[in-house]
A and B are shown apart, each in its own frame.
Chain A
């Protein structure tokens, strides 16, 4: 019989749970990780990573179609959807296997089963509804993640009405595609299928797409996608989805008037709900608010010894947030000194459509709401040498400073590779730099990052190249 006593048991092996497990092992804890599906969680298996693989195929396909612009010739450009999907699955498989090796290397005991709290300091592990073992630990971290919000009347049928998992393994490119929801997930799928030839419509209930982003970014993205041929409908509600034999009729409501449109496939990407059911919370004091576990700044729940990290513990629903919480939570349990709570204003978000979107901190509207007087700078891709050389003249970088203190309140980017640029501003925010340090920083030439510098300069009326 294997050992069942641990210092820490983590339920869920996603980017929150497995990172927490490795950090705990580094801190000499005896750690068990319970995962019933895939190491790496949704992120690695059905989220961030496989979508990036699909989008990479789409990006290259798009570039090939523009080969002539670069003086290249490419004839007979086409794609094999099955091969694209296979590559995406292979990427996930490779990384998931990598997580297994990392956990093994760090001597984390992985239980292949479903973990559930079973009384104080106990976690029951079941497989196929049979109890395998019961683990004991002083501390338990819940890292069970979240899943797509299923809209009533729009349940996935695996055939015509898709959620992200179906959309990741399509067997054909739908002719007419409706995407419900214009957050990162909706926009990325819309972009992928549209690039491969779907006639794509995105509907958004709010008055603009990517509603979490700065309004200027939303407007720019909408213009860009529309120019590309995507149909975007904002302030539109989907009343009814009626699946027929091969098509779905969607009743859309615009300004109180409904009309019906036919689609071949529908992707529903309308947010997520936390995985709080059937993990034994009813036996604890853990408080659940709208499918998410309530925690304090150290990821502690209301039940002593039970912690929650990542998507189950509330927004922002991002893998890197989960990983950071995992480390912080474990360090807190270990009693490390000098810890600092995570600042959610300093967590960047990235959307991998074309053009890419990345942002950190407050939008201009949020900053104004908080009572800041602002200095706002903008710099367009079309004035950056590297962007022109890349043939990516579309996009801009916007920076928002507090007028009084020079605090960098927010940075918003749209354009090529901005998801790789944003970390510069994340570091700057974390170190609490002001515009002065950013102005004094020498950005390398020729890079897209020079636009970050110019945007800061522009906020103070000093942009050089525009």
Chain B
């Protein structure tokens, strides 16, 4: 019996992924630990290693295949002494990708992920299991069964599933009027793009956002940053603290002061998190990802700086491990480097708050009744009113402002 190489689950919530490329070919001899292929999930690319030694007998799922269901056979490994005849009977079709749309959500707690998974309808083209009656009713209503989630035995679509379903689903699924061909380039959705689209749409549509904005004067911070960076050693131990690192540190300290803002909303309870884990929005070529600086309250500025640098770098390369972007209690999105003055970010559920950080810019300010020039950074906190009320949000923002304006507090 050839050894079946299965599509691995890179995270507990992963149900399918893409086989990006194979680094071995049929006939290659591999030993345990050799890299076989790269698997792309919603957020990361992972290398799959051989667990056993043998000869790659057959690659069933070629590189570039999307939506390969977890635990489906992607290749067959022949053991020592086994010849290719053992491969007879294995066909790619029996393991062909049959998954629905990608499902592992960005930085979601498993409970949320599970509910998201259940709600994802099957992809068009895949075999739809439905009772004859359900098919008949769907046809009568002009309903696309691929858009319906089955609740019958083994997920089969039954009468009750289609009776309640509105045919609007089809209207929205139908192609919109496309511009003339040749006038555009269609960029197929990556898993990540689909996840971003769904998650942020869900958030904006279901989470009652409210926004709090504060101008923060950062002259002291800039002075401190300048002298700190000037004192950096060369080579080993060198550091370069960014304004954003200060923001992360100030958020961490403010969350310790106002732990109510470090919260997740669930249907049954508001979860007030014990650890201060801060998600940092990072733009990558394929989209947004939010790696997490863990225990940011215990890290110094240099530690935060190093962590952010490492995570952001690997995020851009698509090499983050799922646990590095799953979880977190608070997010920071900083567009200051693009000269954005002020913006409001969309909450990253199940978190309750996200801080949108604008550019620090010199502005006329009033100090003790006198006009002066100061460097001001506008920060807007987006808050989920279900879990965090206005006053708590304001307390958090006040604490953040106090700390970022008096950066010496960060040394405490």
Contact = CB atoms under 8 A, between A and B. Distances in A.
Interface stretch (B130-138, B272-280, B344-352): B130-138
A431 interface: yes
A407 B136 CA distance: 9
A437 B134 CA distance: 13
Contacts of A405: 133, 136-137, 140
A433 interface: yes
Contact of A434 (B132, B152, B154): B132
B154 A407 contact: no
Interface residues of B, number: 13
Contacts of B140: 404-405
Interface residues on A, range: 10 to 19
B132 A340 contact: no
Contacts of B131: 431-433
Interface in A433-462: 433-434, 436-437
A417 B159 CA distance: 31
A154 to B, nearest CB: 44
Q: Which residue, B133, B140, B152, has most C-beta atoms of chain A within 10 A?
A: B133
A434 B133 contact: yes
Given A404-B140, A405-B140, A407-B159, A432 B134 contact: yes
A405 B133 CA distance: 7
Nearest to A404: B140
A406 B138 CA distance: 12
B133 A407 contact: yes
A76 interface: no
Nearest to A429: B133
A244 interface: no
B133 A432 contact: yes
A71 interface: no
Interface in A68-82: none
B81 interface: no
A367 B159 CA distance: 17
B148 to A, nearest CB: 14
Interface string A400-418: 0000111100000000000
A431 B154 CA distance: 13
A338 interface: yes
Binding site of A, secondary structure by majority: helix, strand, loop or mixed? Answer: loop
B153 A433 contact: no
A215 B151 CA distance: 35
Interface in B249-287: none
Interface in A369-396: none
A433 B136 CA distance: 10
Given A405-B140, A406-B136, A437-B132, A432 B158 contact: yes
B153 A338 contact: yes
A432 B137 CA distance: 11
Contacts of A432: 131-134, 158-159
A431 B135 CA distance: 12
A436 B158 CA distance: 16
B128 to A, nearest CB: 14
A433 B154 contact: no
Contact of B133 (A338, A340, A406): A406
A436 B132 contact: yes
A338 B152 CA distance: 8
Nearest to A408: B133
Interface in B132-169: 132-134, 136-137, 140, 151-154, 158-159
A338 B131 CA distance: 17
Contacts of A338: 153-154
Given A404-B140, A405-B140, A433 B133 contact: yes
A338 B154 CA distance: 7
A431 B158 CA distance: 9
Nearest to A437: B132
Nearest to B133: A432
A404 B141 CA distance: 11
Contacts of A431: 131-132
A404 B154 CA distance: 27
A436 B133 CA distance: 10
Contacts of B133: 405-407, 432-434
A406 B159 CA distance: 12
Contacts of A404: 140
Contacts of B158: 432
A406 B133 CA distance: 7
Nearest to A433: B132
A405 B152 CA distance: 18
Contacts of A406: 132-133, 136
Contacts of B159: 407, 432
Given A406-B133, A431-B131, A437-B132, 15 more contacts: A338-B153, A338-B154, A340-B151, A340-B152, A340-B153, A405-B133, A406-B132, A407-B133, A407-B159, A431-B132, A432-B132, A432-B134, A433-B131, A434-B133, A434-B136
Interface of B: 131-134, 136-137, 140, 151-154, 158-159
28 contacts: A338-B153, A338-B154, A340-B151, A340-B152, A340-B153, A404-B140, A405-B133, A405-B136, A405-B137, A405-B140, A406-B132, A406-B136, A407-B136, A407-B159, A431-B131, A431-B132, A432-B131, A432-B132, A432-B133, A432-B134, A432-B158, A432-B159, A433-B131, A433-B132, A434-B132, A434-B133, A436-B132, A437-B132
Q: Which 6 A-B pairs have the closest CB atoms?
A: A432-B131, A432-B133, A434-B132, A405-B136, A407-B133, A433-B132
